[in-house]
A and B are shown apart, each in its own frame.
Chain A
Amino acid sequence: MMGRFMLRAVVIFCFLASMAGLTNVAQARDEALSDSPTPISSVSKEEIERIVDQRLEDIMRRTPQSTPPTDFSQMPVRGLGQTNQTQQRIQQGSGDWVTGGSVLEGGRTVYAKPFVRAPKTIVGGYIDFTISDCNNANARDCREGLEFDQERFVPFFYSQVTDRLSVAAEVEIEHGGPQGNQGDGDVKIEFATMDYRFEDWFNLRGGIILIPLGRFNLVHDSPLNDLPLRPMVSRLIIPSTFAESGIGFFGTVYPTQLSKVDYEFYVTQGFDGGSSAAGGTTFGEGGYRGNKGSFQTDNNENKAIVSRISVSPILGIEVAGSVHHGKWDDQADHYMTIWAVDGLIQRGPFELLGEAGWTRIGGGSKNVAAANGTPPKRMAGYYVQGNYHFMPEFLKQAAPTYFGDSSTFTAVVRWGEADTNTQRNGNVNDLQRLTLGLNFRPVEDSVLKFAWTFNDHKDDPQSRNGWQVSMSTYF
């Protein structure tokens, strides 16, 4: 009985209090219309709701001057990916200005916005599946006959731990994982980094770092690429997906109004090429994909340095140079340096991109003797690729549920070469490849690809062609 009474009293008190408060709001709004305030008793619940809605709309609409309204003040502000420079002013209902924008340290108003309640950790991934028939061409990634390959299932994580600290990672499960039917798959971290952001131009990154060597390694996710097969240079000369344990800095500067310079600089574990001593065993003409350094230990105490500087003078043009330099052998006697340049030009529906890499290996020789610790001395490769994006209007009209506004076709042509011992003919990887492709993206994150691959193994009369059909998507 007493409880019911108390409850009723609280409800009545709250109702009266809210009426009084809302009447003030109503008063403020109606100041220009009437000199006498509306009595509480004459306001219905519906009217109160209407007044509150109206008042909120007035606040949102109000601009300091009666100029054409912009919606910039309505632009959402999120913590993800931002730095403390990404603040914006948000207009308060009172007409005052406050500085907001940083979700965890910024203005009061942003806390009220619903997007702040979005989860701070994002889980997603990508998957691909390829059907290929390479007619036993015995070329890089185009080797066998007709086969199905669920090559990559890659969950990723992104977490904004604080306003400045974020974590990003990709976990790759290849060919069904090591416990697959034939045990021919694997599971590994593709990259797992912690970024601490200071300013746009200076940030700290540590962990298993995706090595910024060339362009392809940094955009290797299957749904981002327009052909089923990776370029040969990005497999043999730059062993993509290439990640190493390390730490370093990255950032972006804007030297002029339209230009942009990105840089990355890391100190990493470096390659583990085995022993270069007489009788030792190191890598041969097949390349050094199997000699990427451990994420845990170093075969020598000499660390490698890796850096990439990318310059974009204007939107649509980007040129970059990168280098990886460190000692490769157990004895720390010999250096190995990989240089790469890459570029991208975009103009309307056309794209032209390419990448070249050169490797110089200390202690190497044109006459490879891997069993005696002598690797090849020089390797090189490159590719150039042209893309043309198009979407026939009649398809969108005929089947709008299949071909939407974000759907697009892309015609692709790629030419590439790779040579894992440029000083000697007759090595196992002296390859040329022309690829013609067509893909369809129903949305930007998903792609169905087809490609015809013309392989030319310079020293092998058995060179054969092949085709691939692939589907991949982010999820």
Chain B
Amino acid sequence: MNRTFPTLCVVLFAMSGCVSWTNAPRVATTCSLEDTWSVALSSLHEFELRRIDKPNGVIETDWVHVHNPKTVSGGVFQRSMNEERARFILNINPGQSGSQITVKQIREFWSPQGVQSRTWRQIPPHEDQEQQLATRIQTRLKRQAC
């Protein structure tokens, strides 16, 4: 046991390097950083914002509760009480010929079932919702004609 466990730890640590994020949608534009920032900010009108960090080009929304249509309802009361919440993080950076925005969703799951009621746990983002927001920003940027 004294040798086995450290060996397993090393293997686990090595394997963690294989893990990476899926590609978050990116919007490249010829608009100036200032214009891009303004459009990004106005595109988040549904959300409360928890961080607006212009020097670092970061906008983070607060949590919103979201519905997952794939969630199966069931149980004694045909429950559909599982919860998911999400927030978006926009990174606005200078690009090669203008600027670019990266849209990332952080998503968490909560269920009232047994031990799962103790905390929210992170789950993969909905890529279509990330893309939806990216498309909205892109459309608005195009309308700026910059």
Hey, which bits of chain A sit against chain B, CB under 8 A? 64-65, 67-68, 70, 72-73, 75-78, 80-82, 85-89, 91, 97, 99, 101, 118-119, 122-126, 154, 156, 158, 166, 168, 170, 191, 210, 218-221, 224, 250, 252, 254, 257-258, 260, 262, 312, 314-317, 343, 345-347, 352, 354, 356, 380, 382, 384, 405-406, 417, 419, 422, 443-445, 474-475
Contacts and interface: CB of A to CB of B under 8 A. Distances in A.
Interface in B57-79: 58, 60, 62-67, 70, 72, 74-77, 79
Contacts of B132: 68, 70
14 contacts: A67-B136, A68-B136, A73-B46, A76-B67, A78-B65, A81-B112, A81-B120, A82-B65, A89-B45, A99-B48, A158-B113, A210-B118, A260-B122, A262-B119
A88 B64 contact: yes
Nearest to B48: A87
Interface string B40-58: 0001011110100000001
Contact of A75 (B19, B67, B74): B67
Interface string B113-146: 1111111101110000100110110011000000
Contacts of A219: 115
Contact of A315 (B21, B48, B67): B21
Given A82-B63, A85-B63, A170-B115, 13 more contacts: A67-B139, A68-B132, A73-B46, A80-B112, A89-B48, A101-B64, A210-B115, A262-B119, A343-B12, A347-B18, A380-B1, A382-B1, A445-B75
Please tell me the size bucket of the interface on B.
Answer: 35 or more
A124 B21 contact: no
Nearest to A89: B46
Interface of B: 1, 4-5, 8, 12, 15-16, 18-21, 43, 45-48, 50, 58, 60, 62-67, 70, 72, 74-77, 79, 81, 83, 85, 89, 91, 104, 106, 110, 112-120, 122-124, 129, 132-133, 135-136, 139-140
A81 B83 contact: yes
Contacts of A154: 114
Nearest to B88: A72
Given A80-B83, A354-B8, A445-B74, A317 B19 contact: yes
Contacts of A124: 75-77, 79, 112-114
B69 to A, nearest CB: 11
B45 A382 contact: no
A474 B113 contact: yes
A326 B90 CA distance: 46
Contacts of B12: 343, 345, 352, 354, 384
B16 A317 contact: yes
Given A85-B50, A317-B19, A312 B122 contact: yes
A444 B117 CA distance: 16
A445 B78 CA distance: 13
A82 B117 CA distance: 11
